[in-house]
């Protein structure tokens, strides 16, 4: 059984997922994670300090060499991906890997799990420096003299994956955008299934110097995948498909890159996925896990609902800050924001506005400084059951029961009767003015909305 694991790239996309999952499943193991910027990295919640953060840089072995003492397995996830310069790819992916393997050998590390990419298998990687650098890294691992496993995932799908962000842009209503005919076959894998596969290797100590291709359980064309993403998002087929001529763009990008254009947002190599198949070669280990994996539809739906929740949470968190500032004059802390998000999701009458005007009031309120007091005032007098008021009451209830905001409901110092009366007078005047403004601005709209509803009701 592995006891002490060293992870590179723990703050990256897969690294974060792997560490939080493995901490749940193997809380008895110890972990050391390499972080270039430890002040910006916080490991997942854990018991008994099982995670030790090592401040260091893959390219400067002296910063982490000592931390490899006593380590029996290294998980090497760190890599430069995305649209970067050729030099960056090679410096980190090849040179960094070589330094790491050297240090591992010196420290007596017994096993290395290296995460590569399916792109190393593309028939032509001459214009794809990322794939070249990863292929070089594989060679270093294979010849490093330490028992290893290499995993080559295909396209990884999940809320935090780079692929998710990019393909979502291509599958936006009303059209679907593809590069070329997008007939290349792909085999996307869900992020959690990749993590489960890595944990399986670590737990069963499968280090027989093998390379494992890893995909999801289903193969389909790139265009079919984009179509499914579109349907998952909208529930309908795309109205039309825009096919961008991939060869033209590819050669254009290549030429610019050859002339030193390193700052392009997209690299020609990244288009390779549209041109070449990204499918995993069958192997017994992959086959044994297939039945537990999400198929394409499932992974799209799971990610889509997670994205919807995340967007709703973002909106509710914004609302919590706005309401907190409005009600007690201070921005609520994260705890209060979380409690507001939880309550707003759990209390059913807060999730669906009663009618169009109710929704309109929420929109006016979301405008903040001016809109919120106006909408609140209007609803207090003329629309008592408005969702906005319920939401504000929920926020009030939370604010009055948590520190430090509960003190905003208590008057700590003694004041004279006259001072209190003066304050009450000011509040009264302000409330009166607010009522006047709210009545003049929202009143006619409310009236129009109810007349419209009545007319509609009469017709039906």
Partner 1 sequence: MNKRLLVVGSGASGVHFALSTLRKGYQVTMLDVALPKPPAACPEETLDGLKDHLSDPVEYFLGEGNESIVLPGTSDNYRARYFGIPPSRSYVFESPKAFSYEASGFEPLFSFARGGLAEAWTGGAYPLEDHDLRDFPFGYETLEKYYEEVTQRIGINGTADDLTRFLPLQKALMAPLDLDENSKDLIERYQGKRSLLAKKFRCYIGRSRVATLSREQDGRGECTYCGRCLWGCPNESLYTPSITLQACLQFPNFTYLPGLMANYFIADSQQHLTGIAAESLVDGQRHTFQADTYVLAAGTLCSSKIYLDTLFKATGEIQKLTGLMDNRQVLVPFINLHCIGNGYAGDRYQYHQLGLGLEMDDPAEYVHGQITTLKTAQTHPLLQLMPLDLRSAIKVYQLLRTSLGVVNLSFHDTRRPENFLSITPEDKSGHTKLSIQYRPRKGQGQSINLALKRLRGALAELGSFVVPGMTVIRPMGSSLHYSGTLGMSEQPKPLHTSKFCQSYDFENLYVVDGSVIPFLPAKNITLTLMANAVRVAEEAF
Residue 275 or 392: which CB sits closer to partner 1?
Answer: 392
Residue 153 or 332: which CB sits closer to partner 1?
Answer: 332
Residue 126 or 342: which CB sits closer to partner 1?
Answer: 342
- 162 within 8 A of 79, measured Cβ to Cβ: no
- 379 within 8 A of 361, measured Cβ to Cβ: yes
394-433 positions binding partner 1, by CB under 8 A: 394, 396-398, 400-404, 406, 408-417, 419-421, 423-424, 427, 430-431
Size of the site for partner 1 (CB under 8 A): 50
Q: At a CB cut-off of 8 Å and minimum separation 6, what does 13 contact?
A: 160, 161, 162, 191
Which residues on neighbouring strands pair with residue 148, listed in sequence order? 112
Residue 440 binds to partner 1 (criterion: CB under 8 A): no
Residue 327 binds to partner 1 (criterion: CB under 8 A): yes
Residue 296 or 442: which CB sits closer to partner 1?
Answer: 442
Q: At a CB cut-off of 8 Å and minimum separation 6, what does 296 contact?
A: 188, 216, 218, 220, 225, 228
31-60 positions binding partner 1, by CB under 8 A: none
Q: How far is the CB of 82 from partner 1 (least distance, A)?
A: 39
Q: Taking the alpha carbons of 46, 50, 55, 60 in that order, is the dihedral positive or negative? A: negative
Tally Cβ neighbours within 10 Å of residue 384: 9
Q: How far is the CB of 79 from partner 1 (least distance, A)?
A: 39
β-strands 175-179, 220-221 pairing: unpaired
Answer left, alpha or beta for residue 326, where phi above 0 means left and psi between -120 and 50 means alpha: alpha
Calpha distance 390→77 (Å, rounded): 47
The DSSP output letter for 60 is B
Question: Binding residue for partner 1 (CB under 8 A) from 209, 288, 385, 450?
Answer: 385
Contact region with partner 1 (CB under 8 A), list: 122-130, 168-176, 237-245, 388-396: 388-396
Burial of 44 (0-12, 13-18, 19+ CB in 10 A): middle
Q: How far is the CB of 313 from partner 1 (least distance, A)?
A: 17
Q: How far is the CB of 384 from partner 1 (least distance, A)?
A: 6
Q: How far is the CB of 430 from partner 1 (least distance, A)?
A: 7
Residue 147 or 439: which CB sits closer to partner 1?
Answer: 439
Tokens at residue 232, please?
A: 């998952």
Residue 288 or 335: which CB sits closer to partner 1?
Answer: 335
Q: Which residue has the tokens 């890893």?
A: 214
Residue 65 or 350: which CB sits closer to partner 1?
Answer: 350
β-strands 4-8, 175-179 pairing: unpaired
Residue 128 or 323: which CB sits closer to partner 1?
Answer: 323
Contact characters 344-383, partner 1, x per CB under 8 A: --xx-x-----------------------x--xx--xx--
Q: Which residue has the tokens 């792909």?
A: 186
The DSSP output letter for 57 is B
Calpha distance 460→456 (Å, rounded): 6
Grouping H, G, I as helix, E, B as strand and the rest as coil, residue 218 is: coil
Residue 266 or 420: which CB sits closer to partner 1?
Answer: 420
Q: How far is the CB of 316 from partner 1 (least distance, A)?
A: 14
Chain positions contacting partner 1, by CB under 8 A = 326-328, 335-336, 339, 343, 346-347, 349, 373, 376-377, 380-381, 384-385, 389-390, 392-394, 396-398, 400-404, 406, 408-417, 419-421, 423-424, 427, 430-431, 434
């Amino acid at each position: 059984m592995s006891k002490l694991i060293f992870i590179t790239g723990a703050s990256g996309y897969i690294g974060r997922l792997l560490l939080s999952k493995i901490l749940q499943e193997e809380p008895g193991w110890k972990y050391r994670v390499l972080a270039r910027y430890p002040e910006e990295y916080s490991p997942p919640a854990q018991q008994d300090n099982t995670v030790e953060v090592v401040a260091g840089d893959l390219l400067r072995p002296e910063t982490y060499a000592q931390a490899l003492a006593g380590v029996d397995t290294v998980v090497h996830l760190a890599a430069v991906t995305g649209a970067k310069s050729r030099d960056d790819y090679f410096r980190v992916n090849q040179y960094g890997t070589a330094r790491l393997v050297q240090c591992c050998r010196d420290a007596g590390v017994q096993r290395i799990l290296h995460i590569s990419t399916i792109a190393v298998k593309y028939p032509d990687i001459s214009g794809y420096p990322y794939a070249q650098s990863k292929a070089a890294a594989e060679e270093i691992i294979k010849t490093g003299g330490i028992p290893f496993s290499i995993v080559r995932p295909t396209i990884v799908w999940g809320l935090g994956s780079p692929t998710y962000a990019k393909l979502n842009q291509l599958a936006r209503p009303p059209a679907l955008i593809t590069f070329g005919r997008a007939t290349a076959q792909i085999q996307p894998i869900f992020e959690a299934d990749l993590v489960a596969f890595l944990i399986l290797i670590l737990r069963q100590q499968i280090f027989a110097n093998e390379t494992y291709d890893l995909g999801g359980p289903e193969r389909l064309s790139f265009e079919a995948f984009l179509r499914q993403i579109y349907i998952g998002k909208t529930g309908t087929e795309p109205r039309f498909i825009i096919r961008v001529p991939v060869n033209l763009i590819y050669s254009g990008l290549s030429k610019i890159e050859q002339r030193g254009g390193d700052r392009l947002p997209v690299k020609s190599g990244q288009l390779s996925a549209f041109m070449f198949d990204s499918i995993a070669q069958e192997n017994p280990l992959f086959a044994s896990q297939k039945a537990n994996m999400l198929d394409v539809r499932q992974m799209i739906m799971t990610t889509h609902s997670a994205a919807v929740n995340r967007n709703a949470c973002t909106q509710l968190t914004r609302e919590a800050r706005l309401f907190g500032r409005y009600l007690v004059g201070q921005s609520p802390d994260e705890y209060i924001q979380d409690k507001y998000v939880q309550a707003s999701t759990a209390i059913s009458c807060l999730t669906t506005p009663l009618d169009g005007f109710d929704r309109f009031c929420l929109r006016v309120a979301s405008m903040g400084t001016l809109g919120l007091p106006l909408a609140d005032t209007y609803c207090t007098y003329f629309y008592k059951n408005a969702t906005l008021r319920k939401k504000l009451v929920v926020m009030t209830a939370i604010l009055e029961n948590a520190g430090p905001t509960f003190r905003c409901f208590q008057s700590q110092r003694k004041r004279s009767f006259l001072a209190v009366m003066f304050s009450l007078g000011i509040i009264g005047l302000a409330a009166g003015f607010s009522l006047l403004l709210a009545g003049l601005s929202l009143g006619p709209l409310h009236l129009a909305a109810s007349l419209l509803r009545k007319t509609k009701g009469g017709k039906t």
